Amino acid sequence: MTTVTNGVNVQALLDAREVLKGAPEAAQFTWRASSTWRDGVHSTTTVQDFFGLGEERSHKTESVFEADHPEVFAAEDNGITPIEYLLVGLASCLTAGVASVAQNRGIQLRSVQAAVEGRHDIRGILGADSDVRNGFNDIKVTFTIDADASPQEIEALVAQSQKRSAVFDALTNPTDVTVEVA
């Protein structure tokens, strides 16, 4: 019996995995965000509703995200840069994965810190050099983990969290994106 308490209800996740194996349609989720332009390069995006397990659902509360650009971009810096939201997504997704995998493997975590760095050549978005891409050149995530586990087990936790990460996959593999005018 495991006495590990990382606060992840792994049993519920494992049960869901079994149920959804036989019900792929219930596994189809749609995540949504709704954005409004403020002024300049500042916009506000809200997130509350999503679809999943066959019906419309809602987070307990609405979350509001301000996106802008720093003053060096001649902007007002009302919020973080959109590309920084990708780092938020990646760090939180991998961290959630580390906690879940640790729980499943009976590893007690004491602290998990992730430092994320995305290197970005902005000549791409400025159109200054057509050979430079718009997005990150690369991203580096450095975990510092204190847990009842060997260094090898911690390496394995981090490796497994990438293997099951939605954001890691979304960033490392191409996704078909449609942008249209309503």
Question: Which two three-digit tokens encode residue 101?
Answer: 């995998």
**Angular region, 112: left φ>0, alpha ψ -120 to 50, beta rest:** beta
- Check residue 131 for interaction with another protein (CB under 8 A): no
User: Among 130, 152, 177, 178, which residue sits at the site for another protein (rule: CB under 8 A)?
Assistant: 152
- Among residues 90, 89, 117, 102, which one has the least CA distance to residue 156? 102
User: Among 30, 45, 173, 179, which residue sits at the site for another protein (rule: CB under 8 A)?
Assistant: 173
CB 167 within 8 A of CB 93: yes
- Check residue 5 for interaction with another protein (CB under 8 A): no
CB nearer another protein, residue 6 or residue 165: 165
Question: Which two three-digit tokens encode residue 118?
Answer: 């995305």
- Check residue 169 for interaction with another protein (CB under 8 A): yes
- Among residues 141, 158, 137, which one has the least CA distance to residue 83? 137
User: Among 18, 131, 138, 180, which residue sits at the site for another protein (rule: CB under 8 A)?
Assistant: 138
- Provide the binding-site residues for another protein, judged by CB under 8 A: 138, 152, 155-156, 159-160, 162-163, 168-169, 171-174
